[in-house]
Amino acid sequence: MKIKRKKKNTSMARKAVAISVTSSVFLAVVCLLVSCIFFQREAIKIYEGMETSLTRSALVEVDNAVLNDLIIRTAEAYNSIDDPVALRNSDEEAYFARFADIQNSPEYKKIWKQLNNDRRATISTAYCLSLIYPTKGYWVYVMDASDTNVQRCGELMFDDFSAYIGHPGMDYEGNVTISEKYGRVRTDGICVLVDEEKEINSYFTADIPISEAIKNVKIFLIQSACGAFIVALFTCIGVFVAVNKIAVRPIDDMAGKAEDFVGMYEERFDTHTGTDVFQDVYDGDVKELIKLAISLRSMELEMNSYLRDIDKLVGEKARISTELDIATKIQEATIPRNFSDFDKYHQFELWGDCKPAKEVGGDFYDFFMLDEDHLCLVMADVSGKGIPAALYMMVSKIAIKTRAEQGGNPSEIIAYVNDRLSANNSVDMFVTVWLGILTLSTGHVIAANAGHEYPVVTDETGNYVLMKDKHGFVCGGMGGLKYKDYEFDIPKGGRLFIYTDGVPETQNTKDEFYGTERMVEALNHCKDLDPEHTIEQMHTSLVKFSEGAEQFDDTTLLNVWYKG
Amino acid sequence: MLNINKTQTDKDLVVALEGRLDTMTAPDLESQLQAGLAGVEHLTFDLKGLEYISSAGLRVLLSAQKTMNKQGDMVVKNATEEVKEIFEVTGFTDILTIE
């Protein structure tokens, strides 16, 4: 058998692995992303808290009044400059000179030192005191307590502070900047002084380098990814092995056995023995596979039982065929062909033939002497075909002959046979019978017809003529019927031809019937021949007419030549 | 080939036959009648389209007649000349009601 393959075939284990790989990778990516976001958010919170607490604790140590005073003085110095940015760019010296007094004051230095010392004990790289000018986009340093690149009082630092517009004294928004020395630096802190009138918006912030932390996050991510990959790899291997063991191998086994089973077809039919391929095909505990194994096993058992049935049928068929052969022979033997036994009767000569359409048929003829002067002639046709018709024919034939030999007129004989046959006739079969008794000394015939075809008798001129005789009902169909005798004479040298309906109903390839007209015509073509050759000629005529078309009915003919 | 057309009104059944009623087709008619005759009191065979009837076909008509003898009546009508002749020859004219 050819199986149409539309898609590329993949093994079940491979499919399972592909699914588990895809799902593990998806799961790992989702986990990493979630943990990354979580990690980042938590880290920001920690830094925020750390910077807030650092700045708060730093401010506890210093004198707030002095600090505020320094802020206010710086703001005033700044405000005294018309265009601080332009001056800062054009004349740095002049610009910073405006803040020199503040920066050089002992209180400024004292607080700077205090804050810087304090800072050194922490991870912060700078403590900055500043004035934010949100609308201007920069802040002005009041103090930068750090060890490197210390910004002077009054220095400008440009950044986006637009979020502070209209929100004086709001919490410092943590931000990240890039420093040459420390890399990424996070700045956060607290509000120190707000004076809307004087436009003072001052913050104290701490810088914490976070490059290290970010690096750690990256390392964490890579490590987690590697870990996830390894876990996924082992999971996949596990899945592959498990699927292979639990499902693929048993299915493979079953498929292999199924192939064996198919391969044993010839053997099964040659040896006529059942197979035992699917016994113990699966011993696992997977429900679906158990079901499959049971199905395979029951299929095999069914097949074995079919095989036994076929075996039986083959034997039966052979037996029936043999029996049919024997039945045919028995039936043939019941139809008399001992024509030469009648040679001693010089008054007549006769010949008959019967050709069944199937192996056994329902037509028959019979002839026997009732006494030295009376010849009984019988032509009959049983309804239906085959073995049922043959059985019925045997019964009818014996009944007719037995009753005829006891004496009586044809009508009495047929009426008796009719009653006998219809007595226990549950299948409504019947037989048409023409029965005639010829008196050899005179050529007188007394006959009765139970639903049979019209006989053909030659007239004075020697021509065959269809004799439309009186008909009774067929024999065996219904009990208690009466039949009528009729009489006629066969002229000296005349002939009688009786037949069954198979003759006129012989068909040709155009579905035309042979018919009684053609039959009488054919008979008249051979009216001078003896019975044996007449029958032969009639057969030739039938064969010629039928043009090889298959015949469904038995054809039986009997010809009597009354010589006188 | 045989076409069997059954028309039933209450206890009247009309069976119209068309084609050939022979060894091949008779079993079909027989099984249809076996299933369809229960409770029928007037059975009519319309043989207008019947071209040929063999002894196997006659057997089915005989069975039907026997059944109907017990439970009602049976009529055969519109038989063609050929079929009528067969009824004649086989003596079925004696036991069938032919119209």
Please give the full DSSP string across A279-321, using - where no structure is assigned: TT---S--HHHHHHHHHHHHHHHHHHHHHHHHHHHHHHHHHHH
Inter-chain residue contact B94 with A450, CB threshold 8 Å: no
Name the residue among A430, A453, A478 with its Cβ closest to that of B59.
A430
Q: Is a pLDDT exceeding 90 seen at residue B74? A: yes
| Model pLDDT, residue A228 | 80
Of A399, A443, A436, A446, residue with least CA distance to A421: A399
Q: Is a pLDDT exceeding 90 seen at residue A306? A: no
Least confident of A4-18, A170-184, A303-317, A339-353: A4-18
pLDDT in tens, A48-62: 888 888 888 888 888
Inter-chain residue contact A481 with B94, CB threshold 8 Å: yes
Q: Is a pLDDT exceeding 70 seen at residue A261? A: yes
Q: Quick one: pLDDT band at residue B65, thresholds 50, 70, 90?
A: very high
| Model pLDDT, residue A205 | 92
Percentage of the residues of chain B whose pLDDT score is greater than 90: 70
Of A268, A112, A336, residue with least CA distance to A204: A112
Spatial contact of A435 and A447, defined as CB atoms under 8 Å apart: yes
C-alpha pair distances (Å), A310 with each of A187, A265, A275, A320: 95, 14, 15, 15
Judged on CB neighbours under 10 Å (0-12, 13-18, 19+), A306 is: exposed
In the numeric block, the tokens 């046979």 are attached to A417
Query: Across chain A, what does the average pLDDT equal?
Result: 89
Q: Which residue of A has its CA nearest to B95?
A: A473
Judged on CB neighbours under 10 Å (0-12, 13-18, 19+), A259 is: exposed
Q: Which residue of B has its CA nearest to A382?
A: B55
Q: In what order do the strands lie in the sheet with A183-195?
A: A156-158, A138-146, A126-133, A200-209, A183-195, A175-179
Of B87, B84, B77, B65, residue with least CA distance to A473: B87
Mean pLDDT of A189-208: 90
| Model pLDDT, residue A348 | 95
Beta bridge partners of A143: A129
Inter-chain Cβ pairs, chain A and chain B, closer than 8 A: 61
Q: Quick one: pLDDT band at residue A1, thresholds 50, 70, 90?
A: very low
Inter-chain residue contact A473 with B92, CB threshold 8 Å: yes
Q: Quick one: pLDDT band at residue A4, thresholds 50, 70, 90?
A: low
Least confident of A6-10, A495-499, B67-71: A6-10
CA distance to partner chain A, nearest, from residue B19 (Å): 13
Show which residues on chain A lie within 8 Å of chain B, measured between beta carbons.
Answer: 381-385, 428-430, 432, 450-454, 471-474, 477-478, 481, 501, 505, 552-553
Of A349, A347, A355, A380, residue with least CA distance to A365: A380
In the numeric block, the tokens 């040298």 are attached to A493
Q: Is a pLDDT exceeding 70 seen at residue A507? A: yes
CATH of domain A335-562: 3.60.40.10
How many other C-beta atoms lie within 10 A of the C-beta of residue A20?
18
Cα(A286)–Cα(A246) distance, rounded to whole angstroms?
8
> Which domains are seen in chain B, by residue range?
2-95 (3.30.750.24)
Inter-chain residue contact B58 with A383, CB threshold 8 Å: yes
What residue spans define the domains of chain A?
A: 62-209, 264-334, 335-562
Contacts of B91 in chain A (CB under 8 A): 450-451, 471-474
Contacts of A357 in chain B (CB under 8 A): none
The helix/strand/coil state of A37 is helix
Cβ of B94 under 8 Å from any chain A Cβ? yes
pLDDT in tens, A97-116: 999 999 999 999 999 999 99
Inter-chain residue contact B59 with A384, CB threshold 8 Å: yes
| Model pLDDT, residue A281 | 81
Cβ of B56 under 8 Å from any chain A Cβ? yes
Q: Quick one: pLDDT band at residue A7, thresholds 50, 70, 90?
A: low
Contacts of B23 in chain A (CB under 8 A): 384-385, 552
Q: Is a pLDDT exceeding 80 seen at residue A402? A: yes
Mean pLDDT of A6-29: 79
Fold of A62-209: Beta-Lactamase (3.30.450)
Q: Is a pLDDT exceeding 80 seen at residue B81? A: yes
Mean pLDDT of A285-292: 89
Mean pLDDT of A266-284: 76
Q: Which of B66, B87, B90, B93 should be substituted to probe chain A, the one whose Cβ sees the most A Cβ atoms within 10 Å?
A: B90
Least confident of A3-17, A26-40, A67-81, A350-364: A3-17
